[in-house]
Amino acid sequence: MSGTHSILFVPGDGIGPEVMEEVRRVIDWFARKRNLHVEIEDALIGGACYDAHEVAILDETVEKAKRADVVLLGAVGGPKWRDVPFEQRPEAALLKLRKELDLFANLRPAICFAPMADASSLKRELVEGLDILIVRELTGGIYFGTPRGIEDLGNGEKSAVNTQRYDSREIRRIAQVAFLLARTRRSLVTSVEKRNVMETGILWHEEVTRTHEREYSDVQLEHLLADACAMELVRRPKRFDVILADNLFGDMLSDEAAMLTGSLGMLPSASLGEMDKDGRRAAMYEPVHGSAPDIAGESVANPIASVLGFAMALRYSFNRNEDAALLEQAVNDTLEDGVRTADIWQEGCEKVSTSGMGENIVSRLESNAAAS
């Protein structure tokens, strides 16, 4: 795709700036060697923003995020900001961005690179080559539904309530995301719910089926009860391509799928907003891990989750599938070469720093490009 892509770069706190520096290195390579035109603007977020401005995020940063094609986030938070006012805690900046950009679709890939297959709790043959994408509804369902609360019954007992509520539109728009993404992959969507015991499950099933029939019948659709899906994920995970789930089930299933792949330092995620009439949608890419204050400043953090977040941006926002695959292949080959940061180091491998990992990934991009 031609044109210039605008990126808002928000490295954040702790290891955020360290790992994002390696993303910058990778972006530079794509700009020089693959004709990727990007405009990068930097902004503070989280504790770093609080230190400078006494707020977790500036309104002008939110506006820049709305205008940018993608937001690339490092991580926020840390013990230094434990006592800041509740509404200015670093995590509040993320919630504000998600809300203001209406990022209702959360994408969590679970990819198992062959050299890392032994880090999984499952047998190598079950996970080697695994490539699943979990599409989770992020702004509705039981985490937001009302009524909610805890009531004192006055007899020494209490009663608590949460409400699971979905309307047709919320289900349709997340289903559309899943079908569209499946088209860029292996074209199979597995929609999960509990229609056997929940009315929201019945509506979910109906709306997903109707959306499929109307607009996406070229994609294969199957329905699975959420508990059956949890079992299948550890029994035969490679049977899945895209898993579509509500907020609650998506939360559980994406963590389960993540653990199939081994390490926290390897896992990216994306959050997408609604598509406008020009086919453009807000998007934020970030690693699943946090700011890791225990290792911040030591140059030992693994930058792969953030680098793979950029691969997702290439695929899902910039429509550059080939470049995304190139980057994922370079990460795979770097691991195959035995290059490891401390968190994924094994006997016989070479231990490298954060920048060492970035340099090796770029060398692999370079040598793979020369060989092709």
Q: Could you list the residues that contact ligand NAD (CB under 6 A)?
A: 15, 19, 75-78, 91, 94, 264-265, 286, 289-295, 301-302, 305, 343
Q: C-beta of 71: minimal distance to ligand NAD in Å? A: 12
Mind telling me the catalytic residues? 143, 194, 227, 251, 255
Nearest CB to ligand NAD, comparing residues 93 and 330: 93
Question: To 10 degrees, the CA torsion angle through 319, 321, 322, 323?
Answer: 70
- 300-309 burial, b at 16+ Cβ within 10 Å, e below that, comes to bbbbbbbbbb
Q: C-beta of 95: minimal distance to ligand NAD in Å? A: 10
Closest-CA residue to 284 (of 17, 112, 99, 18) = 99
Inter-residue contact 337 to 118 (CB < 8 Å) = no
* Residue 92 DSSP class: H
Q: Which H helix or E strand runs over 111?
A: strand 105-111
Nearest CB to ligand NAD, comparing residues 93 and 171: 93
* Residue 28 DSSP class: H
- Give the whole-angstrom CA distance, residue 64 versus residue 89: 21
Task: Find residue 41's DSSP bridge partners.
Answer: 8
Inter-residue contact 233 to 122 (CB < 8 Å) = no
Nearest CB to ligand NAD, comparing residues 17 and 265: 265
Q: C-beta of 225: minimal distance to ligand NAD in Å? A: 30
- Give the whole-angstrom CA distance, residue 266 versus residue 70: 20
Nearest CB to ligand NAD, comparing residues 259 and 264: 264
Q: What angle do CA 21, 22, 23 make, to 5 degrees?
A: 90
Q: Name the CA radius of gyration of the chain, rounded.
A: 21
Nearest CB to ligand NAD, comparing residues 107 and 305: 305
Peptide bond connecting 287 to the previous residue in cis, omega within 30 degrees of 0:
no
Nearest CB to ligand NAD, comparing residues 211 and 291: 291
Q: C-beta of 145: minimal distance to ligand NAD in Å? A: 24
Q: C-beta of 45: minimal distance to ligand NAD in Å? A: 9
Provide the sign of the torsion angle of the four alpha carbons 79, 84, 85, 91, taken in this order.
Answer: negative
- Give the whole-angstrom CA distance, residue 119 versus residue 260: 9
In the complex, residue closest to ligand NAD by CB:
290
- Give the whole-angstrom CA distance, residue 189 versus residue 321: 19
DSSP string, 171-229: HHHHHHHHHHHHHTTT-EEEEEE-TTT-HHHHHHHHHHHHHHHHH-TTSEEEEEEHHHH
Q: C-beta of 279: minimal distance to ligand NAD in Å? A: 28
Q: C-beta of 292: minimal distance to ligand NAD in Å? A: 4
Nearest CB to ligand NAD, comparing residues 5 and 98: 98
